[in-house]
Amino acid sequence: MMFWIGAAVCSIRLHSTESLKERRHVVRSLTDGARSRFNVSCADLGPHLTRQGADVGFTAAGSSAEEIDERLANLENFLRMRETGGEFEIVDYSREVFAYGDLSD
């Protein structure tokens, strides 16, 4: 049996954030929503000292590549829906799904 891992990175440009605290609030809102809806792990990848942008990383694991790819595609749709709220703009979104190894031992 193969173990599949998916990784995605979303780069966003933040609008009207005037402090690092506001930046963290927007990023935290995105990561909390993603965790609860899609069962993914999330991390703010930086840059941590700027209030105008952020890179957010997401990972998921499962037993089928199709499941993980679908989950990350649904995550992208969620982020694009949130983008319409005007707090941020998605600059780039990339995802990759790969096999980790054989777990039959």
Write down the pTM of the prediction.
0.90
Phi, psi of 84 (to 5 degrees): -65, -15
pLDDT on residue 105 = 57
What residue type is 44 in one-letter code? D
- What topology is assigned to 2-97 in CATH? Alpha-Beta Plaits (3.30.70)
Rounded Cα distance, 92 and 74, in Å: 16
pLDDT for residue 49: 79
pLDDT, tens digit only, all 105 positions of the chain: 788 999 999 999 998 888 989 999 999 999 999 999 999 999 999 887 788 999 999 999 999 999 999 999 999 999 999 999 889 999 999 999 999 876 565
